[in-house]
Amino acid sequence: MKPFNASQHAADSSPLAITGLTISYGQKPVVFSVDCHVPAGSLTAIVGPNGAGKSTLLKAALGIAPRLSGDIRVYGQPYRSQAHRLAYVPQRSSVDWDFPTTVLEVVLMGLFHTMRWWQLTRRHHRNKAMECLTRVGMDAFAERQIGQLSGGQQQRVFLARALAQEADLTILDEPFAGVDAATEKAIIEVLKSLKREGKTLLCVHHDLSTVREYFDHVLLLNIRRIAMGPVDDVFTAENLQQTYGGRLNTIQLERIATPDSSTSQV
């Protein structure tokens, strides 16, 4: 059913290797026995219908959600020892944007692991944070209160915070949800430039029409793993039908899954 032995030895070096992960709330598994090895240097999407356990899978990978069984390795090690190599961008809606803080201060949170409690925030910390803000095109907003930002701007600030962490593996939970077209473009540019630098990115994604254009690998998930691999091999009408069940009609499927119809102009 799944190519186990092929990926077994790849687990040692994989930025994120999940084996046999089961998570349940009460008596209902939200993720069942999922194996997933994210290839190094890839830009991987996790795709699946609502309630398929996408965000939960990420949270379990970070040790935030409790798991019933399974093993999770980050660069071959337990998560705890590798936390500094990993950056996490939560869903925008998970925080209180009325919190009394500025854009710059949020980005500075990304430098948490480099600062001991007695160290004050120095000029080079601020410069670093400003660089990250510039990279997402938000440098002009550094001193704004975060509540004054639009949804897209908030998402870019979150991305800047992840950039500040200089992580090898960045995990993003729905970074394109509810953002404007300009932001979506800006974010994907940043993600692609990170990939060119050799970083690995894993991203929960909900827009099927852009999967081919944005990502090189994809994990199709609906509580169980439906398929995982390079987009061209795995992102097929058959697999999507299995992932989404009757929720996608045939015409939609054809359009999404054929490589030619939605080719990227990039």
Partner 1 sequence: MSSDFLILSLAPLLVAIISSMSCALLGNFLVLRRQSLIGDAISHVALPGIVASFLITGTLAASAMMIGAGVAAIVTLVLIEAIKRLGRVESSAAMGVAFTAIFALGVLMLEMSDASGVHIDVQHALYGNLESLIWFEGLDWTALFDPAALAELPPQLPRVAWVGLLVAIFVVVAWRPLVIGSFDPAFAASVRAHPLLTDVTLVIMVAITAIAAFEAVGSILVIAMFICPAASARLMTDRLLPQIAWSQVFAFASAVLGYVLAGYGPGWFGHDVSLSAAGMIASVSGIILLFACLFGPRRHGAMARMAAD
Partner 2 sequence: MIDSFWQALTFTAGYNTTLVTLGSAMLGASAGMIGSFIVLRKRSLVSDAVSHATLPGLVLAFIILALLTGDGRWLPGLLIGAAASAAIGLWGVQAISSRTRLGEDAAIGAVLSTLFGLGVVLITVVQALNVKGQSGIDSYLVGATAGMLASEAQLIGISALVVLIVVFMFRRQFLLVCFDRQYAYTRGINADHIDMMMLLLLLTVTVIGLKVTGLILIVALTIIPPVTGRFWTDRPSRLIAIAALCGALSGYIGAAASSSASGLPTGPLIVLTAFLLFSIGLLFSPRRGMVAMLLAQHRFRRRVHLRQGLLSLARDEAIYDDLTLKVLRRHGYIRRDGVATPPGRVAARDAEHEEHLWSLYRQLYPDEAAQLDHQGLDPIEESLPPDMVSSLENRLPSPARSAR
CB of 168 to partner 2, least distance (A): 25
Q: H or E stretch including 159?
A: helix 151-164
**Residue 4 or residue 117: which is nearer to partner 1 going by CB?**
117
Residue 83 contact, options partner 1, partner 2, none, Cβ 5-8 Å cut-off depending on partner type: partner 1
Which does residue 223 bind out of partner 2, partner 1, none, counting CB within 5 to 8 angstroms by kind?
A: partner 2
Beta strands in 48-147 (DSSP E): 69-74, 86-89
CB of 208 to partner 1, least distance (A): 26
d(CA 207, CA 99): 30
Nearer to partner 1, 48 or 110 (CB): 110
Provide the 10 A C-beta neighbour count for residue 1: 5
Cβ closest to partner 2, residue 28 vs residue 80: 28
H or E element that contains 183:
helix 181-196
Nearer to partner 2, 60 or 132 (CB): 60
CB of 210 to partner 1, least distance (A): 25
x/- letters, 93..122, toward partner 1 (CB under 8 A): -xxxxxxxxx--xx--xx-xx-x-x-----
**Residues 103 and 149 sit within 8 Å (Cβ to Cβ):** yes
- ∠ CA 252-207-66, rounded to 5°: 125
